[in-house]
Amino acid sequence: MNVAVAKTGKGRAVSDLFASVEGRLPGPPAVIAARREAFENYERLGLPHRRLEEWKYTDLRALVSEVLPLAASPDAAALKRAADAVKAHAIAGARKLVLVDGVFAADLSDVKALGSETSLKTLRETLETDAGLLNTALTDAVIALNAAMATDGVVLSIADGAQLSAPIQIIHIATAASASSFTRSQVAIGKGARATIVESFVAAGSKAYQVNDAVLVKVGDDADVAHIRLMDDAPDAVNVTSQFVTVGANVKLNFFNMTSGAAVSRLQGFITLAGEGSELSVNGVNLLKQTEHGDTTLVVDHAVPNCVSRETFRAVIDDRAHSVFQGRIIVRPDAQKTDGKMMTRALLLSDEAEADNKPELEIFADDVSCGHGATAGALDDSLLFYLKARGLPEKQAQALLIQAFVGEAIEQIADDGLREHVIGIAERWLERRS
């Protein structure tokens, strides 16, 4: 993509946007310089389109008709709506960290309750002394744009050996309509620590907004981590999230994503197994209806020997919705005894629903066990008839089978309370359907 093309059409809109908000972006001159560089990267690349292999099924340039202006700071009424949204979406017992329209809201957050083993700074504070957070190992256009525009985020550090009993829930709330927010967060989990991190994306009365989030996760040796992401944005929103995860040795990491909102969404996860003996479980559910487009793109990189990775994905696709799953497992030359498997299944509830599954194995070691599987199909008529013959109306019979279908991914969440919370989101999605 050359500069001339990037500056036309949608490229132009963002370019104007950056110039107009540069003064509002946090950070000392060195950080602003890094942002400008990131933005130039973005300009050079342009919004991703279908001729880029990684974005083949998610032509952002076609799907996102315009890049919206940066959201203004929320006013009192917006903060009141946000407070109500926090109540509605909080997980019982969780320590809440709230970002409203891309800015950390201390008043809505449980900062003091975090305890001494968890340190919290905002991205804003961190950038005063360190521009490093704006760098990532891999850059595409949306990641570059995020580095250029990120207004805030949480920078969490969980001490070595900490055994956190309460989940930490980062809640992204959109209150501004027709505006975009850019957030970037970091979660560093110490050696031998045990923690549960939940990320929630919800709307508080806002419509047609755009979210571009980036998360950097570092998991120390011997840690035991559950990481759950619940993307339940407004039906006309756009959410593009990039996650960079580095996993140490002998770690247990259980990641789960649920996409149950947004007109256009993409979660791209880049997970590197950098220490031996770790077990990675990555699971997800897409619940899509109408013309929604939901993309989960994962790269699991086995950089060292003796790690296990498991990926279980389920997509439920209704109406004219489109679900994308791209899963790549890379096994580096040294990563012998790697055991990596992924399975993705799509349930098509209408003739016009579409599923694209692209599993890829890139194996450079010779003593490994890797595999993948993908299926797509409709609900089984014989099961539906059995349930109907027992008194369930059509929609209820379908709902029961859909719950069972997604249950295979949801049951990977070990914590009873969290699992019930996620099942509740799926149930509400099914109720909206009938």
Partner 1 sequence: MPLLEVKDLKVRVEEREILHGLTLTVNEGEVHAIMGPNGSGKSTLSHVIAGKPGYEVTDGQILFRGEDLLEMDPHERAAKGVFLAFQYPVEIPGVTTMNFLRTALNAQRKARGESELMVPDFLKKVREVSKSLNIPQDMLKRGVNVGFSGGEKKRNEVLQMALFEPSLCILDEMDSGLDIDALRIAADGVNALRSPKRAMVVITHYQRLLNYIVPDVVHVMSKGRVVKSGGKELALELEASGYAQFEDAA
Among the listed residues 407, 419, 423, 433, the single contact to partner 1 using CB under 8 A: 407
Q: How far is the CB of 403 from partner 1 (least distance, A)?
A: 7
Q: Is 384 helix (H, G, I), strand (E, B) or coil?
A: helix
- Count of CB atoms within 10 A of residue 124's CB? 17
Q: How far is the CB of 427 from partner 1 (least distance, A)?
A: 13
Q: Which is nearer to partner 1, 188 or 400 (CB)?
A: 400
Q: How far is the CB of 285 from partner 1 (least distance, A)?
A: 13
How far is the C-alpha of 370 from the C-alpha of 81, rounded, in Å?
A: 48
Q: How far is the CB of 401 from partner 1 (least distance, A)?
A: 7
The reply to whether 419 sits near partner 1 by the rule CB under 8 A is no
Q: How far is the CB of 345 from partner 1 (least distance, A)?
A: 12
* Binding positions for partner 1, 106-125, rule CB under 8 A: none
What is the DSSP code string of 21-59? HGGGS-S-HHHHHHHHHHHHHHHHH-S--TTSGGGTT--
Q: Which is nearer to partner 1, 191 or 433 (CB)?
A: 433
The reply to whether 364 sits near partner 1 by the rule CB under 8 A is no
What is the DSSP code string of 78-130? HHHHHHHHHHHHPPTTPEEEEEETTEE-GGGS-TGGG-TTEEEEEHHHHHTT-
Q: Which is nearer to partner 1, 388 or 433 (CB)?
A: 388
How far is the C-alpha of 379 from the C-alpha of 350, rounded, in Å?
A: 10
How far is the C-alpha of 298 from the C-alpha of 408, rounded, in Å?
A: 19
The reply to whether 416 sits near partner 1 by the rule CB under 8 A is no
Torsion of CA 135, 139, 142, 146, to 10 degrees: 0
Q: How far is the CB of 416 from partner 1 (least distance, A)?
A: 15
Q: How far is the CB of 255 from partner 1 (least distance, A)?
A: 21
* Binding positions for partner 1, 157-196, rule CB under 8 A: none
Q: Which is nearer to partner 1, 227 or 314 (CB)?
A: 314
Q: How far is the CB of 405 from partner 1 (least distance, A)?
A: 7
Q: What is the DSSP letter of 235?
A: T
Least Cα distance to 199 among 231, 247, 223 occurs for 231
Token pair, residue 347, equals 């349930």
* Binding positions for partner 1, 73-112, rule CB under 8 A: none
Asked if 165 and 197 touch (Cβ cutoff 8 Å), the reply is no
Q: How far is the CB of 74 from partner 1 (least distance, A)?
A: 41
Token pair, residue 125, equals 């504070």
Q: Which is nearer to partner 1, 165 or 382 (CB)?
A: 382
Among the listed residues 40, 59, 408, 415, the single contact to partner 1 using CB under 8 A: 408
Contacts of 167 (CB under 8 A, 6+ apart): 91, 93, 94, 95, 196, 197, 198, 226, 415, 418
Q: Which is nearer to partner 1, 308 or 348 (CB)?
A: 348
Q: Is 241 helix (H, G, I), strand (E, B) or coil?
A: strand
Token pair, residue 69, equals 């202006």
Q: How far is the CB of 384 from partner 1 (least distance, A)?
A: 9
Q: Whats the size of the chain, residue-wise? A: 434
Q: How far is the CB of 256 from partner 1 (least distance, A)?
A: 17
**HSE, side-chain direction, 13 A CA sphere, residue 146:** 29
Least Cα distance to 116 among 166, 161, 159, 170 occurs for 159
The reply to whether 52 sits near partner 1 by the rule CB under 8 A is no
* Binding positions for partner 1, 310-339, rule CB under 8 A: none
Token pair, residue 177, equals 């309509």
Write the binding mask 366 to 405 for partner 1: x where contact by CB under 8 A, - elsewhere: --------------xxxx-xxxxxxxxxx-xx--xx-xxx
The reply to whether 218 sits near partner 1 by the rule CB under 8 A is no
Site residues (CB under 8 A) for partner 1? 380-383, 385-394, 396-397, 400-401, 403-405, 407-408
